[in-house]
């Protein structure tokens, strides 16, 4: 399916606005779940690993909330990429800052709600606020596909195929009717055998109007059943063909080495990169940082810097001389090193600096759709991005419990964050090594048309 040319403006800016608020309402509370994590630790009295499962599954609402967030994120990114081309990086940066602004606001809001209404009241109010996503979704108008009229030759060539479809339908209907006719014929044979009176009574029965009406009803019934059987067969064939096409497209995507590396990198990134937003407040408490020293919650710092990172990285992605794939790899490598440095931070200032660095680098979410689009194309973006986001959500769910288990095992976060940093570094280096042979994978320009050649004939003076 080919879409119309991206308008790069117009209604696209409305799409950006509603997508911003969609991500604000959808991801604000789950990303600020670190505030709730402290409450859950005190309320449940369980280990950090088991309690982290609650936070990793989207604020304790469960897998249903994670499913909804995944669908909303994919929808906002896909429709924004359809509406923007030359300003795609800026548009993606703007909409993705919604989750970061939501993180900053929800971190403070949830503390106030817990103080006034308790943990249960806080979650009810947050859920009620999320219902405003319905209003945002009503303003999203998908870009229509281009309606190109088929040439006359193509229409003529499609005639035999169309004839074969109708002939197949008539053949199937005839087969189904014959099958039903045989069953009815057998039934009538039994009836005629059991009936006494021979041919005279049979002729009398045929002359009976009630018998004739019954025969017509049976014939009509056989035709209806045959049509319904044909419809079910065609529907099953169509669904099976769609399933085969989907599997074939998925296999074709994974044959792309860069896409396969992106798949591994995003999975490892979410395993190692998500825990800081959930556990940073508890890290400060475990490092004996006093509450009086917490000038600003570390989660709020992460939220502010994530918004800045998404916007700046999105703007950088629009520059033609910047390879967005290498830019994304750089954020992964630096983030992995910052995660490994967390065990050495023992004061609020150092934790705040590392939180700001991690928040800024987490802003690479704004260029990830850009990289995916350049890798697979805008036509396959929804399919490819859906696969990537599924495994990103899986990494999000696994990361915090794994880090929590490391703490329960060692009674320190040091090993846990070494593990997180290693995961992010590994994903970055795998992506880098895969991209090295094709340096222009993500900033590949369209090939320039070959210069037109003209043949000149020298005129004679004769």
Exposure letters 371-409 (e unless 16+ CB within 10 A, then b): bbbbbbebebbbbbbebbbeebbebbbbbbbbbbbbbee
Task: Give the up-direction half-sphere exposure of residue 164: CA atoms within 13 A in the CB hemisphere.
Answer: 5
Whether the CB-CB separation of 370 and 89 falls below 8 Å is answered with yes
Distances (CA, A) of 303 to 130, 221, 362, 408, 458: 19, 66, 10, 27, 72
**Whether this model's pTM surpasses 0.85:** no
The pLDDT score that the predictor gives to residue 157 is 41
What pLDDT sits at residue 167? 46
Under-50 pLDDT residues of the chain: 58-62, 148-170, 173, 180, 183-187, 189-191, 193-197, 200-201, 204-205, 438-462
What would be the CATH architecture of the domain defined by 232-437? Up-down Bundle (1.20)
pLDDT given at position 146: 53
Closest CA to 352 of 291, 285, 278, 301: 301
């Amino acid at each position: 399916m080919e879409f119309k040319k991206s308008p790069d403006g117009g209604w696209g800016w409305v799409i950006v606005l509603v997508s911003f608020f969609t991500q604000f309402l959808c991801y604000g509370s789950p990303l600020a779940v670190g505030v709730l994590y402290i409450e859950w630790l005190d309320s449940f009295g369980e280990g950090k690993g088991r309690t982290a499962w609650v936070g990793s599954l989207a604020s304790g609402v469960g897998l249903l909330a994670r499913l909804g967030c995944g669908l909303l994120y994919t929808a906002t990114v896909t429709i924004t990429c359809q509406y923007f081309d030359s300003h795609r990086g800026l548009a993606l940066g703007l909409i993705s800052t919604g989750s970061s602004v939501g993180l900053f606001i929800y971190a403070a809001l949830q503390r106030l709600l817990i103080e006034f209404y308790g943990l249960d009241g806080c979650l009810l109010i947050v859920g009620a606020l999320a219902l405003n996503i319905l209003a945002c979704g009503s303003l999203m108008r998908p870009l229509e596909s281009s309606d190109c009229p088929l040439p006359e030759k193509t229409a003529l060539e499609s005639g035999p195929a169309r004839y074969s479809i109708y002939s197949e339908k008539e053949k199937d209907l005839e087969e189904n009717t014959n099958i039903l006719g045989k069953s009815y014929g057998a039934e009538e044979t039994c009836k005629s055998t059991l009936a006494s009176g021979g041919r005279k009574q049979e002729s009398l029965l045929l002359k009976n109007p009630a018998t004739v009406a019954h025969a017509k009803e049976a014939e009509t019934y056989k035709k209806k059943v045959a049509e319904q059987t044909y419809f079910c067969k065609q529907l099953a064939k169509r669904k099976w063909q769609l399933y085969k096409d989907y599997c074939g497209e998925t296999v074709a995507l994974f044959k792309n080495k860069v896409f396969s590396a992106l798949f591994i990198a995003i999975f490892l990134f979410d395993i190692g990169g998500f825990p800081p937003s959930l556990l940073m407040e508890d890290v400060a408490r475990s490092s004996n940082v006093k509450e009086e020293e917490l000038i600003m919650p570390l989660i709020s710092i992460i939220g502010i810097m994530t918004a800045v990172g998404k916007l700046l990285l999105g703007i950088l992605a629009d520059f033609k001389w910047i390879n967005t794939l290498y830019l994304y790899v750089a954020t992964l490598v630096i983030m992995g090193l910052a995660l490994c440095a967390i065990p050495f931070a023992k004061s609020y200032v150092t934790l705040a600096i590392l939180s700001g660095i991690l928040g800024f680098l987490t802003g690479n979410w704004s260029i990830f759709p850009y990289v995916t689009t350049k890798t697979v194309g805008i036509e396959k973006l929804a399919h490819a991005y859906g696969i990537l986001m599924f495994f990103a959500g899986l990494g999000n769910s696994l990361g915090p419990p794994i880090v929590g288990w490391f703490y329960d095992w060692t009674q320190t976060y040091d090993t846990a964050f070494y593990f997180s940093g290693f995961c992010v570094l590994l994903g970055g280096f795998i992506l880098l090594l895969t991209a090295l042979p094709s340096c222009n994978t993500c900033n590949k320009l369209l090939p320039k048309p070959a210069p037109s050649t003209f043949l000149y004939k020298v005129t004679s003076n004769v």
